[in-house]
Amino acid sequence: MFGEKVLASRYLLIKKLAAGSFGKTYLAEDTMLPGNPKCVVKKLNPIFNDSQLLDIAKRLFETEAKTLQKLGDRERIPQLLAYFTEKQEFYLVQQYIEGPSLSEKLIPGKPWSETRVIKLLQNCLNILDYIHSQGVIHRDVKPGNLICRQQDNRLFLVDFGAVKEVILNQSRLLSSTVAIGTRGYMPEEQARGKPRFNSDIYALGVIAIEALIGCSPLDLQEDEERELIWQQQAKVSPRLGEILSKMTRYNFKERYQSASEVIEAIDHFTNNSSLVQPNSGKYYDSTVVEKVIYNSVANKPSPVIREDSPPSKPIANSTQSKSNLPPQTLEKSSSKTDTKNDFLNPELIAFCQEQLAKYIGPLSDFVVKDVLTKNPQITLQQLIERLASEIPDSRKAQQFTTILKKSSSKTDTNHDLLNPELIALCQQELAKYIGPLSNFIVKDILTINPQINLQQLIERLAAEIPDSRKATQFKKNLLGRI
């Protein structure tokens, strides 16, 4: 059949991508356009000898078509290209997003770092915030429906086959709703056929937990109040743990009520003045962390970081103290930091930070700065051993040491065309659009792509900005300053 069947005298079916209770999805070619571009054709399979199911199928088809038509102009949501009926069967034609799904990247037994999970949450929450503002519940948020577009790694939310129009300010949901979703990611109210906007938030929270612990949500246990039991299995800071737990509350009334609420909570967390090393018993006082940053710039000894004591009261904003630095200190900061550890090139230091972050989380940046400030003449071997001592688990500390020793010789030649000033400029500009995670994202890209050039780096960083208009502005700003 494939390679022969043509629908609407236009769409040549190539292969079947998926099949479900209500239909099948095919990869196809549009033979009416130059180059026969690929597209996705979704066929709805009504059961015609059951009038009730036929009505459901028709309603789902019309809902999906109207919803996709309204949402498709937005970045990170596939465009609806056409919809039609043929031989009493319903068809949707959508933009084809080529690339692996998130389910292919969630490998059992290989948990993600907290930084990577935060980045995933921020990308997905921006999409949910938009579709919810349009009165739409996706109702099937799961790893298989999140596609990383191959050309730029942008994340797309696909398969709105189970969406339901919701009239805003309506006192109740329409009674003629259909319980659709995926087991493990679908909350209780959705299973009863009464989804809410925060049903999607629940699903995304479960995905984040799955990424953090490296196992399927179906393997998670529940406590007597039917809340998911997962934090003991995860390497997660307390605050992010609280955010994910609130996203996945059994009772929808106890969850975040909107995606924007979660975005605000995560933004506050990433700017948090009290940083805690995940599951290590080490607390890093916010004022001490600020002093580490200040002293690394002012070339003063840093305070000792205390262990096993609660963090101090939060301060307004960690960036505030930076703005209060003496002007002469700020002017001289780059030249002073550049002359330290001349035999440890910036790529090696960045690589150490990146690897350490896998074991102790986002605090790795501050720990490395503190070690370099206190020991300006430290050798690479000494640096590795000193950083390894920050990892509570001795087995993981040894693993960290082994990885760094094997990789250090390779990283010495990385990014010869990207000097530290250019990299710092990229981080600074990206921070204007995505906040403090920019530092980790730049390092992650440089580590994964050791031979990347400046143009490629700018394009790759722009792909991390959800708003396409802002992404274009980011590139324009950078190219104008280089």
What CATH number is given to the structural domain containing 60? 3.30.200.20
Mean pLDDT of 159-184: 50
Total domain count, the chain = 3
pLDDT of amino acid 303: 40
Tens digits of residue pLDDT in 220-261 = 999 989 999 999 888 888 899 999 999 999 999 999 999 999
* Statement to judge: residues 52 and 152 lie in one domain: no
Least confident window among 115-124, 256-265, 442-451: 442-451
User: From the candidates 140, 159, 200, 444, which is the catalytic residue?
Assistant: 140
Both 332 and 197 in a single domain? no
Res 318: pLDDT: 36
Please identify, among 224, 250, 270, the residue that sits at the C-terminal boundary of a domain: 270
Q: Is residue 1 part of a domain?
A: no
Q: What is the pTM of this model?
A: 0.57
Are 239 and 131 in a shared domain?
Answer: yes
Same structural domain, 118 and 76: no
List, for residues 370-398, the tens digit of each pLDDT value.
Answer: 888 888 778 788 888 889 888 888 888 88
Last residue of a domain, one of 270, 291, 310: 270
List the one residue out of 221, 140, 247, 243 whose CA is nearest residue 186.
140
Same domain, 207 and 68: no
Query: By residue range, what is the domain housing residue 473?
Result: 276-481
Q: Is 140 a catalytic residue?
A: yes
CATH number at residue 114: 1.10.510.10
Shared-domain flag, residues 141 and 174: yes
Where among 95, 117, 141 does a domain terminate? 95
Report the pLDDT averaged over residues 53-59: 61
For residue 312, being part of any structural domain is answered with yes
Residues 309, 414, single domain; the answer is yes
Q: What is the mean pLDDT of residues 130-157?
A: 90
Dihedral sign from CA coordinates of 77, 78, 82, 83: negative
Pick the range with the lowest mean pLDDT from 91-95, 204-208, 213-217, 309-313: 309-313
CA pseudo-torsion sign 247, 123, 107, 103 = positive
Please indicate whether residue 294 or residue 217 has the higher confidence score (pLDDT): 217
| More confident: 281 or 456 | 456
Same domain membership, residue 235 and residue 130: yes
Q: Are residues 23 and 108 in the same domain?
A: no
